[in-house]
């Protein structure tokens, strides 16, 4: 199916690896002109053909600076993908409320929530002119806040609520806003030897590979496997396209059936 995105302009944050990299590849394959932002530009990102820009989106000025630079490269934007985030701080995120200092709360909210607020605020005037779209990557942890680091899941809950509020405010002005809430995705958060998954395995007395093998079953994923980044990327392209013209204010859960509630 032609997503009718050829020639349109997009910004993707957190683009150097994992979900962000898969999203950049999918949008570029549809013929979009893409600015891909990351703290570190990976070789894989360079190979996509996107315009790769370094940016620290956890800082107060980082998102607005990125949007300005993206507009200088591409002109008016048609799509903003708020993907940057992280909850893979390792063992320091496993202690629960009493083990989490203010600095950890602030850093996780800056990266997972306020980066999207600031980037969207900077991009919105242009998106209004282009009647564009915002797609924000949240997490099914927003609905299952006990299922991951508290600082991460509660920031994602705020992010999902932010998307709903944006859709209500800007939908009547022609900008569609939706969120995607993946479950456990095959990314470095789970697979990196120094990431959250490895730290969780150690805390549970398991080998890292044992944790990964049992993760789908332990989290209730009826598909029996982790979500692949390309699956999320395909949903992003559809939500960005005219085929989803009547979809706004939605939160798409893609978690292999882990969430059981209606």
The enclosing domain of 131 has a CATH number of: 3.40.50.720
Whether pTM > 0.75 for this model: the answer is yes
Q: In which band, very low, low, confident or very high, does the pLDDT at 45 lie, cut at 50, 70 and 90?
A: very high
Give catalytic residues, as residue numbers.
152
- Residue 54 — φ and ψ, nearest 5°? -80, 140
Is residue 61, in this structure, part of any structural domain at all? Answer: yes
Is residue 179, in this structure, part of any structural domain at all? Answer: yes
- The residues pairing with 52 across neighbouring beta strands, listed in sequence order, are 36
What single-letter DSSP state applies at residue 98?
G
pLDDT above 90 as % of the chain: 85
Structure confidence at residue 87 (pLDDT): 66
- Cα angle value 247/66/231 (rounded, 5°): 40
CA dist., res. 98 & res. 100, Å (int): 6
Contact 192, 88 (CB under 8 A): yes
Q: In which band, very low, low, confident or very high, does the pLDDT at 95 lie, cut at 50, 70 and 90?
A: confident
Q: What is the pLDDT of residues 129-162, one digit of tens each?
A: 999 999 999 999 999 988 778 999 999 999 999 9
Q: What is the pLDDT of residues 111-123, one digit of tens each?
A: 999 999 999 999 9
Is residue 15, in this structure, part of any structural domain at all? Answer: yes
Sequence-separated (6 or more) residues with CB below 8 Å from residue 169:
none
The parent domain of residue 69 ranges over 9-187+228-253
Work out how many domains the chain is built from and give that number: 1
What single-letter DSSP state applies at residue 258?
-
Is residue 57, in this structure, part of any structural domain at all? Answer: yes
Is residue 174, in this structure, part of any structural domain at all? Answer: yes
Is residue 92, in this structure, part of any structural domain at all? Answer: yes
Is residue 214, in this structure, part of any structural domain at all? Answer: no
Is residue 129, in this structure, part of any structural domain at all? Answer: yes
């Amino acid at each position: 199916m032609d997503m009718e995105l050829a020639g349109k302009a997009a910004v993707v944050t957190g683009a150097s690896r994992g979900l962000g990299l898969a999203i950049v590849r999918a949008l570029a394959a549809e013929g979009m002109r893409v600015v891909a932002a990351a703290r570190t530009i990976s070789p894989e990102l360079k190979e996509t053909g996107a315009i790769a820009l370094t940016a620290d989106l956890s800082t107060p000025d980082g998102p607005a600076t990125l949007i300005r630079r993206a507009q200088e490269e591409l002109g008016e934007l048609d799509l903003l993908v708020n993907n940057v985030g992280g909850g893979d701080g390792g063992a320091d995120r496993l202690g629960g409320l009493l083990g989490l200092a203010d600095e950890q709360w602030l850093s996780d909210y800056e990266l997972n929530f306020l980066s999207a607020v600031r980037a969207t605020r900077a991009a919105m005037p242009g998106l209004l002119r282009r009647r564009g779209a915002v797609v924000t990557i949240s997490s099914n942890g927003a609905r299952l806040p006990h299922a991951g680091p508290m600082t991460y899941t509660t920031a994602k809950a705020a992010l999902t609520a932010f998307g709903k509020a944006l859709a209500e405010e800007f939908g009547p002005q022609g900008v569609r806003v939706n969120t995607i809430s993946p479950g456990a995705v095959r990314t470095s958060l789970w697979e990196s030897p120094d990431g959250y998954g490895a730290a969780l395995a150690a805390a549970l007395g398991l080998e890292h590979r044992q944790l990964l093998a049992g993760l789908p079953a332990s989290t209730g994923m009826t598909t029996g496997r982790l979500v692949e980044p390309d699956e999320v990327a395909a949903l992003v392209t559809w939500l960005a396209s005219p085929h989803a013209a009547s979809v706004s204010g939605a939160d798409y859960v893609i978690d292999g059936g882990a969430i059981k509630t209606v």
